[in-house]
Amino acid sequence: MTLPLLKGGKDAANYVGRFAPSPTGPLHFGSLLTAVATYCDARSHNGRWLVRIEDTDIPRIYPGSEAHILRCIDAFGFIPDEEIIFQKDRLDLYENVLAELQAQDLVYACQCTRKMLGSNHIYQDNCRNLQLPFANQAIRLKVADVEICFTDRLQGQHCSALKRDLGDFVLKRRDGIINYQLAVVVDDYLQGVTHVVRGADLLDNTERQIYLGALLGYPRLDYMHLPLAMNDQGQKLSKQNLAQALDINQAPQLLQQAIHALQQPKVDTDHPEIMLAQAIEQWDVSRIPHQIELQGHYL
C-alpha cells in the first residue's frame, strides 16, 4: 500500500547516514561509539553524514544537553554535511503524515493506559473499533498480522511478527507528543537517509519502523546495530544509568578508546579531525564484534 505523502525525499545518494541523539541527557561514551561508527561508515562509503537532534519528547529534555551535543560534535572533530536539524521544529511534518494515515484509516484513537495492556505491554486491539475522537487520546497504528524480517549488517537476520510480538503501536501520545517511531521514519525519508547505524538497544524498534516506512511508500533502509558499551553493573551506558558525560577536554583519549572498542586499528595522532580521517581510512566493519554487548566496562 502506498500513500501519496510528502514528496520531500532527497534524490537518493548511494549512502546517507545520520547520528540522531536525543537530548535527554549529555552525550556519553556509548553515544560516542555511535557517532564514530556512523561517521566512519558513511565517509568510508563516500557518503554524506547528517546530525539530527531528536527532541520531540519535550518533558524529557535535559537542560543543557542540546548545547553539550553540539559542543561535542565540534570538539570531537565531526563535520556534518548539512545544517543540524531539530525535530521540535518539524512537528507540522509529522502531523501531516498522521493526517494522511488517518485519511487512509490506518490509525485510531486509543484510551488504553499501559496498565490496561498487561505485563507484556502488547496491545491487543482493545480500542481499534471504538471510533473514539482523536483529540486528547493516544494515536495508534493498525498493524497487520505479518512477519517483518531484515538482515542487519552485524546482528544478522532479525524478525518480528508485528501483531503477535508488538501490537498496534503509538505514533502520538495522549499528551500530544509525537512518538519517536513516527518522527524517525519521516525524517529518515525526508533527509534521504539510506543507512541507519545505531545501538543494538534499538534493534527491536526496527521492524515497526520498516513496517511504517513501507505503509508510507518510503524506500527500505540498510541497518547496522552496534554492540552496546556496558558499565560495571552490567547495564548499558545510558543517561538513566548516569553514564559519565563526554568531556570535551579529553576528546583525543575518548576517540582513541571508541576506535579501540569498535576493534578498529589504532590511529597515530591526537588531533580529533585527523584521528577520524585515519579511522575512516582504516574502517573495517568486519572487525566490529557481532554481539549485543561489548566486552569490558565503560564509564
Give contact residues for ligand GLU (rule: CB under 6 A): 20-22, 54, 184, 198, 202
Which of residues 82 and 125 has its CB atom nearest to ligand GLU in the complex?
A: 82
Which of residues 163 and 236 has its CB atom nearest to ligand GLU in the complex?
A: 236
What is the DSSP code (8-state) at residue 13? P
Which of residues 22 and 160 has its CB atom nearest to ligand GLU in the complex?
A: 22
**Residues paired with 197 in a beta bridge:** 224
Task: Give me the least distance between CB of 278 and ligand GLU, in Å please.
Answer: 25
DSSP string, 249-296: GGHHHHHHHHHHHTTPPP-----HHHHHHHHHHH--GGGS--SSB-SS
Task: Give me the least distance between CB of 63 and ligand GLU, in Å please.
Answer: 17
Neighbours of 92 (CB within 10 A): 8
Which of residues 23 and 167 has its CB atom nearest to ligand GLU in the complex?
A: 23
Longest C-alpha distance within the chain, in Å?
63
Which of residues 54 and 168 has its CB atom nearest to ligand GLU in the complex?
A: 54
Nearest to 164 by CA among 207, 201, 220, 200: 207
Task: Give me the least distance between CB of 47 and ligand GLU, in Å please.
Answer: 16
CA torsion sign for 135, 206, 232, 67 is negative
Nearest to 55 by CA among 80, 86, 29, 28: 86
Give the separation between CA 92 and CA 94, rounded to whole angstroms.
Answer: 5
Question: Which residue stretches of 45-80 are H helix?
Answer: 65-75
Task: Give me the least distance between CB of 109 and ligand GLU, in Å please.
Answer: 26
Q: What are phi and psi of 42, to 5 degrees?
A: -65, -50
Task: Give me the least distance between CB of 296 and ligand GLU, in Å please.
Answer: 21
Which of residues 20 and 127 has its CB atom nearest to ligand GLU in the complex?
A: 20
Is residue 225 within 8 A of residue 200, CB to CB? The reply is: yes
Would you give the distance in Å from CA 291 to the centre of its chain? 18
Which of residues 84 and 202 has its CB atom nearest to ligand GLU in the complex?
A: 202
What's the angle, vertex CA 283, arms to CA 282 and CA 284, rounded to 5? 110
Q: Which helix (H) or strand (E) holds 215?
A: helix 206-215
Task: Give me the least distance between CB of 224 and ligand GLU, in Å please.
Answer: 11
Task: Give me the least distance between CB of 42 and ligand GLU, in Å please.
Answer: 13
Task: Give me the least distance between CB of 270 and ligand GLU, in Å please.
Answer: 28
Which of residues 20 and 51 has its CB atom nearest to ligand GLU in the complex?
A: 20
**Cell numbers 496491545 correspond to what residue?**
123
Q: What grid cell was written down for 235?
A: 547495564
